[in-house]
Chains A and B, each alone.
Chain A
Amino acid sequence: MKNTKRIVSWRTATAAIAFPLVGVLAMSGCSSDSGASNSGSTNGVTTLTFATQTYEKENPYEAVAKKFEASHPNIKINMVTTPIDQYANVLKTQLTGGNAPDVFFGASGSGGSNALLGYADAGFLMDLTDLEWANKQVPDNAKGLFYKDDKQFALPVSIAPIVMITNETAAKAAGITLPKTTDDLMKVCETRAAAGKSTVALPGSVPGGAGLFLMEIAASTVYSEESDWNQKRADNKTTFAGTQGWKDALQQVVDMNKAKCFQPGAEGGTFDQLAPLISSGDALMTSAPANQLSNLQKAATGQTITVSTIPGESEDKTRLFASPSDALAVNAATKNKDAALEFLKYWTDTQVATEFAETRGDAPISIVTTGEVPEKLAPIAPLLKDQEKYLPLANLSWPNPEVYTALGSGVQGLLTGQTTVDQVLAAADAAWSN
């Protein structure tokens, strides 16, 4: 076979390489960097990059940023948002690459995939310890979520109670008083099951959702007796498997399943089933952060949706998880330190904190000092006003997200009969060591 090759002149070949190369160099010189590099000072105006997750509708963080800009004309905020499922990985990449935003949102503690204390460990966050306005914002019972080795690295922005979002109208129509003890709850389940209805809508196939329900139970069974359980576990003075409260919490899930408290097919339940179940009255309540109240209220037009808690063994032993889960931190490598701290300080203003919490549906962080609870959270006010009765969501300070996942998927395994209470607790202990 003849090997034919086209032959061209050097001139043509040189042109073929040179023109695209020059074009690429020109374009790279003209291009603007995205995200973090859009910071700096020009004509006395400092531009800060502020990163949060993307919101479907209004971004509550952006609203605060705009108000800050209005009151601080020498500081401009460049918002950068990323979808929540990619946020943590994008931020990690930026922090590692040295082009992270000046100020960014994250989760408090060390137990989530976007946990800020994890970044503090790696030296990525600015130390806020010497700032009194930052210290005062942290509730006493939540210091472990914002401090590492006695240094503060993040600032809480609101408190998110974990509640049972309840269809009060459906409960009244069924002649049911919301339960105050575990026994009351089981009786309600019995009554509802006899009428072909369920009491709790459970997203059993979602480890995060099932885990949240378990945590609500554990708030009373574990943390009413041992509010310092997390510290004991971290010091290896206790284990999941060796704590009666954890066994009781998981056993309660098993008992509730047997009593038909959950909707049929709960082991395959998903988040999108919850709103229809609650709004139709087929289920009375579901576990969720309080900021989901407005979403469920919109889905249940003409009905009153309120908040309640999963009761403990007694009213006195009932506890609530109410976490300053969301926080802001400053990039340790920021070139705009003063402006970044000015922006962070703005979030400690009582009015700013209250308005922010209102748009989110959370309790304002200022509740720590003022004790004022928003009206829609009135049913849980007695718990929210007493720092002995509410505590931060426990899994936020666990060493890694696998522990929570082990418990959450364990709940599904208990519903399907694939596992036992002891096996779930053993898996949680094994995950703790990872």
Chain B
Amino acid sequence: MSESPTMATIPGAAEAAGTDQETTPDRPVRARRPRSIRYASWWWTLPAVLIIVTMHYVSVGVGGFFSFTNYKGFGSFKFVGLDNFVKVFTDPVARGAVGNTLLLALGFVILVNLFGFGFALALNRQLKSRHFLRGLLFMPVVLSPLAVSFVWKFIFQYDGPLNGFLAAVGLGDLQKAWLGDPSTAIWTILLVLVWQHIGITMVIYLAGLANVPQELEEAASMDGAPLLKRFQHVTLPLMRGAVVIATTLSLIRGLSVFDQVIALTAGGPFNATETLATQVWRQTFVNSNFGYGSAIALVLTIVIAVLALAQMGLMRSREDHGK
């Protein structure tokens, strides 16, 4: 057991301190420590932990409980076992919603990261107007998703500016109800979703590029490496952290898309663009099927968690492999 140093055990300390206190080495005097508490003790965090557990985890737990019932939001309910979960995977509308959710998520992850990375590379250095262009590209990110979607809805309406433009340039045959046509509705939603979020992935990749030393690229260039090889073997390996963050965030965002679908198509035409998130809302708050809605929400949560963790694990194993 170690002893904390005191004047009695530090040679010459007593003389230096000007004390004439006599002590014996086998009975060191400990300074009286006042009663005290420490900031970093676990129970200081208790109020915040309680709030998070109550507002987040308990409410999720209650929702999970109701997913095994036929609760309508008020009154009595009965336990229905796994019936709600079976319905998620057998009901045609719910199955379609699962498919649409995965399609939108995959398309969103690929496109928003491709465009974001591309803009980040283009606006990283040299271009004099890069700061202005970065601001311009980031602006849609700070706008309300609902407001943006309603503006795009106006653009895509049958009598809206897009069809008007097509007629003006002699492409009137291409006019259609973009949001009312099942073959174009979901791609329209994807376009709006990607358009609004390119800025955020661009910013993440710009931060990643800032960590790539210019000297390494110059050295590779002087060694005769072509542009693509420099990107593949110098830039990209040093950007792995940014890639993990950007792809994980965009995957979660894509899987939980709601605002754009509700504003643009409300899940139509004829359920063609329903997603798991819109189904949660529709079943819970429109149809008052709280039990079924909770089951869909639970399935969506598990899907997001599994895919996000798998994606992060995949990126990490590549990183380790690369070492």
Contact = CB atoms under 8 A, between A and B. Distances in A.
- State yes or no: do A and B come from one complex: yes
Interface of A: 5-10, 13, 89, 92, 95-96, 113, 118-119, 121-124, 204-207, 263-270, 273, 400-402, 405, 409-410, 412-413, 415-416, 418-419, 434
A413 B269 contact: yes
A92 B74 contact: yes
A92 B74 CA distance: 6
Contact of A416 (B153, B270, B288): B270
26 contacts: A5-B38, A6-B39, A7-B39, A8-B39, A9-B34, A9-B36, A95-B74, A113-B288, A118-B288, A119-B74, A122-B75, A122-B76, A205-B266, A265-B157, A265-B159, A265-B176, A266-B177, A267-B269, A269-B177, A401-B288, A405-B286, A405-B287, A412-B180, A413-B269, A413-B270, A418-B182
Given A7-B37, A265-B157, A418-B182, A409 B268 contact: yes
A121 B288 CA distance: 14
B67 interface: no
Interface of B is mostly: loop
A371 B253 CA distance: 58
B179 interface: yes
A268 B37 CA distance: 66
A267 B177 contact: yes
A419 B153 CA distance: 24
Interface of B: 34-40, 72-76, 153, 157-159, 176-182, 265-266, 268-272, 285-289
A205 B179 contact: yes
A332 B48 CA distance: 39
B182 A6 contact: no
A267 B182 CA distance: 10
B35 A264 contact: no
B158 A264 contact: yes
B237 to A, nearest CB: 30
Nearest to A14: B37
A400 B268 contact: no
- Most chain A CB within 10 A, of B76, B177, B266, is at B177
A114 B73 CA distance: 12
Contacts of B36: 7-10
Contacts, number: 115
A413 B267 CA distance: 12
10 tightest CB-CB pairs across the interface, nearest first? A268-B180, A265-B158, A413-B270, A268-B177, A122-B75, A265-B177, A267-B180, A7-B36, A418-B270, A5-B38
A410 B93 CA distance: 13
Given A8-B37, A10-B36, A268-B158, 5 more contacts: A113-B286, A118-B72, A265-B157, A269-B177, A402-B289
Contacts of B159: 265, 273
Given A9-B34, A273-B159, A419 B181 contact: no
Contacts of B182: 416, 418
Chain B CB count within 10 A is highest, among A124, A204, A267, A434, for A267
A123 B75 CA distance: 8
Contacts of A267: 177, 180-181, 269
A263 B159 CA distance: 10
B143 to A, nearest CB: 21
A101 to B, nearest CB: 15
A205 B288 contact: no
B289 A434 contact: yes
Nearest to A276: B159
B269 A268 contact: yes
Contacts of B39: 5-8
A412 B265 CA distance: 12
A4 to B, nearest CB: 9
A95 B118 CA distance: 54
